[in-house]
Amino acid sequence: MDAQSAVTTCYRHPKVESHVRCTRCDRYMCPDCMREASVGHQCVDCVKEGARSIRRARTAFGGRITAVPIVTYVLLGLNVAAYLGELVRPGLVRRFDMLGAVPPGYLPEGVAYGEWYRLLTSGFLHLLPDEGIGVVHIVMNMASLWTIGRVVEAQLGRVRYLALYLLSLLGGSVLEMLISPDARAVGASGAIFGLGAAYYVLARRLGFGMSEVNRYMTGLLLWLVLSSWFASWQGHLGGLLTGGAVALAYAYAPRDGRRVLVQTGACVGLLVLLVVLAWAKATQLTGGAV
């Protein structure tokens, strides 16, 4: 055998001479394709394959562990952006607030007349500076979202957290429509109360500092009563009940291969229930003309 035939080259770069083998696949690799491993060196392909096979860490409720509460930041940004839009064009509030249906004799308007988007858009609007408690409305809601949202997102992961937030928001709007269909309402409070209920349920499941958690829940319920003087208690209560129901499904789903199925099924079932209730109310309000 001559010297030329004994030359070994990198499996990715055939023109580059190489004398080091990957400890995993035993192929020759050049310095550019070489990655340090716990024992020896591995090629880039084996490193990628190994990374895919590593099971990602999960929270106690099945969500992926995340260090940055991206969803909370995005929700904060959307609420603030919507409020700035209101300041520029106040008419946006009447166009996108929560309204089941106007009383008879007025031009058709509201969810019952096909404006279903109001069930969600109303949750990103807040009172203007010259209305009710004014700027305090958005400040208190965003402070609560910042405080509780980051904790709940860390426990649930991004997908479950977002589903909880949106379902709580929707639950508040639907209860508002069922009880006070002709009242106009805005605010993220329904979703915030849902996060509060979830925080309580998750903390009880994990057994964390229950004296502090119980005090928090007592304060939340007290705020539910007090806020009824100047805000939509129906939206608050709807969000609280919906968030609590979603959190119970998250917290007590079996910790095996069925967990995702149970949690997803609970969210989808709750979504269907809320839509059916809103549809039934819309049909009642319009005399079946929906």
Catalytic site positions: 189, 236
User: What is the H or E stretch that residue 174 is in?
Assistant: helix 158-179
Task: Give how far Cα 88 sits from Cα of 8, 85, 126, 165, 281, Å.
Answer: 70, 5, 13, 27, 34
d(CA 126, CA 82): 8
Token pair 């709580």 in the structure block, residue: 168
Are 113 and 286 a contacting pair, CB within 8 Å? Answer: yes
Identify the burial level of 7 via C-beta atoms within 10 angstroms of its C-beta, where 0-12 means exposed, 13-18 middle and 19 or more buried: exposed
Closest listed residue to residue 241, CA positions, set 181, 167, 153:
167
Token pair 């705020």 in the structure block, residue: 223
Residue type, position 66, single letter: T
User: What is the H or E stretch that residue 95 is in?
Assistant: helix 91-96
d(CA 95, CA 56): 44
Token pair 């639950």 in the structure block, residue: 171
Reported residue count of the chain is: 290
Task: Report helix, strand or coil for 58.
Answer: strand
First to last CA, the chain: 87
